[in-house]
Chain A
Amino acid sequence: MWEYSDKVREHFFNPRNSGPLEDANGIGDVGSIQCGDALRLMLKVNPETEVIEDARFQTFGCGSAIASSSALTEIIKGMTLDEALKVSNQDIADYLDGLPPEKMHCSVMGREALQAAVANYRGEEWHDDHEEGTLVCKCFAIDAVMIEDVVKANNLNTVEEVTFYTKAGGGCAACHEGIEEILARVKAERAGPGEVSPPLVQIEPATKSAIPAAAPAAAPAARPRLTSVQRIKVVEEVLESLRPMLQRDKGDVELVEVQGKHIYVNLKGACSGCMMEAATLGGIQQKIAEALGEPVLVLPASYMALEA
């Protein structure tokens, strides 16, 4: 079955702060329809300081749901509401020394209960904005709804692109069939009757070579020729737009040099040496090629010396 950390087991067998809290002034009731778990979080907030003086929970759920609830109450006790709202589901998972990918939604439920309880205290109505789907990629815990949304929003056509945007499929590759099914479904919806679906843009699979091949230009229409400075600006804008996504995964990218169609970048933080490095570069390359309207080759800066 699941590989639970010792910390998860310990919090499940000896949950902290469980049971009703009589004088609670902020209550959040949330559930995950997918696995049927449900959680009530009760807060006692000091109205003067907005400090959470006590927190308790009641959970209908599995071992990790109970452990996540227990961890959440331990984390937020003593925090102000604003501090507590900064607690992410990853913080809850980290506190428990990690959760199995299939169980990350337990920590999400904890975070949502917290938001709901704070909203309740403040007299606001809390609306959940995230929908949970079937888990597709177990290596990176990416579900079908997330993949479908990203495919639609970015007009993705290949498994490699999905991997770049979401990481899904970048690990053991067992979910590629599932990702292809989502792509086929979205494509069918996209191309209404009589319409033609957009052409397939193929990036060379990351596994074949560490250096992505030059991406074809996405916009074939003639564009005014850009000066070197304009080109660099476009490249920088594209990189800027991609950085928040990389930073979310504790990585980053910086531009080092532009030599004709060769663009050299430095992958930093978690991105450097990541097993997905080639896929990341491939995705960056495609974005830049689309923005410039010409094929480019995005290479790690370390290749500069080799090619010079």
Chain B
Amino acid sequence: MEPIYLDNNATTRVDPATVEAMLPFFTEHFGNPSSIHAFGSQVGKAIKQARSQVQALLGAEHDSEIIFTSCGTESDSTAILSALKAQPERNTVITTAVEHPAILTLCDWLEKEGYIVHKLKVDKKGRLDMDEYKSLLNDRVAVVSVMWANNETGTLFPVEEMAELAAARGIMFHTDAVQAVGKIPMRLKDSKIDMLSLSGHKLHAPKGIGVLYLRRGCRFRPLLRGGHQERGRRAGTENAPAIVALGKAAELALAYMEHENTEVKRLRDKLEKGILARVSHAFATGDVSNRLPNTSNIAFEYVEGEAILLLLNKVGIACSSGSACTSGSLEPSHVMRAMGIPYTAAHGTIRFSLSRYTTEAEVDRVIEAVPPIIAQLRKLSPYWTEKGPLTNPEQAFAPAYA
């Protein structure tokens, strides 16, 4: 049985056309783009082309606003540390409680270093309170960093509006857009977004390549200093094959943008409706009317996510979970906790993330496979009886907690 990959928010398959585009840069065009000779200059031209392909996907005004990095995390760290370093008179960072660890862990460290970090709370559907946000904007804020789309629920944040509000107060705005780029259309030139992070491997490019978009005129301090690569804003010899691949992937993502927001969305909706129609005591998390077209996060009450994943894996279906036991740290998903989802449901959240490779037949197979797995695990659950959940399950089964 062919395995089914529904974990595209974790990473994606590299498109064969992209692999083909990058391969010559390992063997044939292996030169260093900084070199004056022909080996180097060909590579330089290819990187220039990739830069404009990424520029087109982001709708950026200038190709020099694209800085190639090694990954999304590097772009995030570069953006936030640059904003703090370039504005020493400002000591505050505003972010959200549901950011990716690439932002949250950095912010926790900044707090230890003496900076002030405000984490915006979210409501039950994972939405921000814009009044809280507005109340925090002041001239001590160096940067606002808010993700464009949440990796677990797909919920979209109004980053364009938030960037306008920040700009009006003279505050830099960064967005971690690794989940959003390639899935929803963007025109950064019409926005007030100063910095944006993207990651190649989330949009069918290889791992090990990312981009920091830096608006022209935005004050900047590099994270890595050294050679003159990327105009001295990111030193280190260019990862030419991966840059070329990212360029190709960006071109393809733009070409598939329509497909992503129609066909992929239709399959996602079919999957979600199909599962929820067959499994009781389950619900979709996040802001379902305002989310990425490819993501569905379903909470299955009274069962645990890792157990679901192991059984799904056994029938060849790959997805991921917000359960405590699937994060290396054993901490339950901070996104589910921030939304106030009760733990008997939060532990059973499963994220299905589709891609342009997902087929109707695959979706049908998953809809068939999920209900018996949930039923099997609920049989083992102390919160469940033959007739359904215990009445008042959290009172009826109240274990002594260690």
Residues of A within 8 A of B (CB): 1, 9, 12-13, 15, 18-19, 29-40, 58-66, 102-103, 105, 108-109, 112, 116, 126, 128, 130-132, 134-135
Contacts and interface: CB of A to CB of B under 8 A. Distances in A.
B381 A58 contact: yes
Contact of A33 (B344, B380, B402): B402
A160 to B, nearest CB: 23
Contacts of B402: 30-33, 108-109, 112, 128, 130-132
Nearest to A116: B400
5 contacts: A30-B401, A33-B402, A39-B382, A61-B325, A62-B323
Interface stretch (B18-26, B201-209, B299-307): B299-307
Given A15-B380, A58-B380, A135-B330, A126 B400 contact: yes
A78 to B, nearest CB: 23
A29 B382 contact: yes
A62 B398 CA distance: 18
B255 to A, nearest CB: 34
B323 to A, nearest CB: 7
Interface in B238-262: none
B330 A33 contact: no
A19 B399 CA distance: 17
Interface residues of B, number: 33
B106 to A, nearest CB: 15
Which 8 A-B pairs give the minimum distances between C-beta atoms? A62-B325, A62-B306, A31-B399, A58-B382, A29-B399, A35-B324, A33-B401, A40-B382
Contacts of B62: none
A63 B310 contact: yes
Contacts of A29: 382, 397-400
Contacts of B303: 60
Contacts of B307: 12, 61-63, 66
B68 interface: no
A280 to B, nearest CB: 29
B329 A135 contact: yes
Interface string B356-386: 0000000000000000000000011111000
Nearest to B313: A1
B314 interface: yes
B217 interface: no
Most buried by B among A33, A35, A109, A135: A35
A36 B380 contact: no
A128 B343 contact: no
Contacts of A109: 402
A71 B331 CA distance: 25
Contacts of A112: 400, 402
A30 B344 CA distance: 15
Interface string B281-317: 0000000000000000000001111110011001000
A15 B310 CA distance: 14
Given A19-B380, A62-B304, A63-B310, A32 B332 contact: no
Given A38-B399, A60-B382, 8 more contacts: A1-B326, A13-B311, A29-B382, A29-B400, A63-B307, A63-B325, A65-B304, A116-B400
A29 B401 CA distance: 9
A1 B327 CA distance: 8
A1 B305 CA distance: 13
